[in-house]
Amino acid sequence: MNLGFVSTRFAGTDGVSLETTKWSTILRRQGHNTFFCAGALDEEHQPGMLVPEMHFAHPTVRALHDAAFGLRPMPEDFSVLMEGMVNSLLGALKQFQAEYRLDVLIIQNALAIPMHLPLGVALVRFLAETGMPAIAHHHDFYWERSRFAHCSVPQLLRSTFPPDLPNVVHVVINSAAQRDLQARFGIPSTVVPNVFDFSHAAPGITPHNSDLRTSLGLSDEHLLVLQPTRVVRRKGIELSLELVRGLRRRKRRLRGKEPVLLISHPAGDEGFDYFNHLQKLARRWRVPLFYAADRFHPSATISEGVKYYSLWDAYVHADFVTYPSLYEGFGNALLEAIYFRLPVLVNRYSVYNQDIAPLGFDLIEIEGVVDDEVVDKVIEVLCDPVRRRRMVEHNYEVARSHFSYEAVSPTLAALVEKAANSSPTPLPQG
């Protein structure tokens, strides 16, 4: 079949873009053709149709978002701006369907989190008018984010994020979301966790990435602690700084290594206040904080004389990974670290507790606090090669059993088949 992925962006290393790439790979291996439509498309998401108005950072989209979720009165032109944008996006969706002769639409998070209100409305209208089969892949919902608590358009949220339509098959990434969706809307869903391609060996040192440390001002004498997430509050990066602070106080036990924290993903998705707070905290605690988001691209390349590294290059050079998130829909970076056979510190966020920890991983767990006992456990893993090897190999095998492409491939095949057979008679237009 011809499968069309739709979202606000398919570019970079955010969770939605990464999981879309994985789904596309699995579905292509099953014989399907995949196409993409979004406000940003990188080389991993081709062929496709670029629609700038689909990006959540588009000025009109952002103005509508701020009006709907701000504390000021709704502007008089809200409905006019909304309807104009919806009609434009509806036309783009119809063009996408026609150009690639799509059989099933796979909507990535655009019907779950209201970052782009008009795209959500346009998708619902498109699905209702055409009766086109669709899979709605929900990564996180608006009720899971405090910033959406105040809303001037509650009815729009309830009818759109997500919609209850007979031609839409719903997918969530954890069991808590499945329960919430059923309880709030009476909508059944299938859990498909985040996955990783464990069938290929992890990359290592290459001619391109061999100088990563030196290019960032580091050497082999540094103990590289990697924070492989975006810089947003729910990532709990203060806890990573706290860990590196504790390691630096016990530097003698690290055989002379100098602990530093490297952040590989960008700030800005939710403003820069949190990033500025982290910088101040790092200076106060005298923790070397390397923010290098501008040096990491989806793929390794050299452009205009500047060398860019892939995220995998960061893992290759890392000694330890921190993942102290306060909340996660699942945990992409956790799987990545396990794939690269790296020891990990993880905060016991709710989805981890419910869906991941019961599988028997051997990780350094915290409950929102980095104390001396935690620091000692990290040092033990870093300094005892037998303990480290036993830990990372065990975690790799557990992850491969539950979160590999092969583990979810039958489920994706069944979902596509179910969606293809769910199309009702389109609603009369006009």
Question: What residues does each domain of the chain span?
Answer: 2-195+406-420, 212-403
E strand or H helix that includes residue 158: helix 154-160
Structure tokens belonging to residue 307: 């060398």
What lies within 8 Å, CB to CB, of 207 at 6+ separation is none
Tell how many helices (H) and how many strands (E) occur in the chain. 15, 16
- State the pTM of this model: 0.85
Do domains 2-195+406-420 and 212-403 share one topology? The answer is yes
Residue 24 near residue 137, CB atoms below 8 Å: no
What lies within 8 Å, CB to CB, of 305 at 6+ separation is none
* φ, ψ for residue 38, nearest 5 deg: -165, 175
pLDDT at 426: 54
* φ, ψ for residue 215, nearest 5 deg: -70, -25
pLDDT at 427: 44
What is the CATH number assigned to the segment(s) 2-195+406-420?
Answer: 3.40.50.2000
pLDDT at 271: 86
pLDDT at 331: 87
Classified as helix, coil or strand, 236 is coil
Pick the CATH number of 212-403 from 3.30.450.40, 3.40.50.2020, 3.40.50.2000, 3.40.50.300: 3.40.50.2000
Omega prior to 166 cis, within 30 of 0: no
Whole-angstrom Cα distance, residue 52 to residue 45? Answer: 15
Show the low-confidence residues of the chain (pLDDT under 50): 427-430
Whole-angstrom Cα distance, residue 114 to residue 220? Answer: 44
Structure tokens belonging to residue 229: 């997430």
Q: At what angle do helices 117-130 and 78-100 cross, to 10 degrees?
A: 50
Cα separations in angstroms, 142 against 69, 145, 163, 342: 11, 5, 13, 33
pLDDT at 332: 87
pLDDT at 145: 85
Residue 311 near residue 318, CB atoms below 8 Å: no
Of 186, 169, 152, residue with least CA distance to 82? 152
pLDDT at 423: 62
